[in-house]
Amino acid sequence: MPDYQPISCDLYDWLEIAARWQLPVTLVGHDGRRWDDGVRTIEASDGVEYLLLESGERLSLADLATLDLVWQGEARHIRFAPAR
């Protein structure tokens, strides 16, 4: 998939934290779609990384615009942009 741009390692780390600690998250896609869910795992297929949500939905990491979560008592708002 030539258009695919992976997200930065820092942003990937936040998704791993959400999955490992089973944190509830709010995700917003570049198209404005919103998910209030939990992160089950991150997986790769054909060179593209995906987020598997607790609801069973599978999202390409490249489609994510923002992530909101609470980590160690602090609200975090993370903006996604393709890695360069």
Q: Over the stretch 40-82, which tens digit does the pLDDT of each residue have?
A: 999 999 888 999 999 999 999 989 999 999 999 999 999 987 5
Question: In whole angstroms, what is the distance from residue 38 CA to residue 28 CA?
Answer: 13
Given phi > 0 = left and psi -120 to 50 = alpha, else beta, which region is 47?
left
| pLDDT at residue 80, rounded to an integer | 84
Domain ranges of the chain: 9-79
| pLDDT at residue 84, rounded to an integer | 45
pTM of the model: 0.85
| pLDDT at residue 74, rounded to an integer | 95
Q: What CATH topology corresponds to 9-79?
A: SH3 type barrels. (2.30.30)
Residues in CB range of 75: below 8 A, 6 or more apart: 68, 69
In this structure, are residues 66 and 79 in contact, taking their beta carbons and an 8 Å threshold?
A: yes
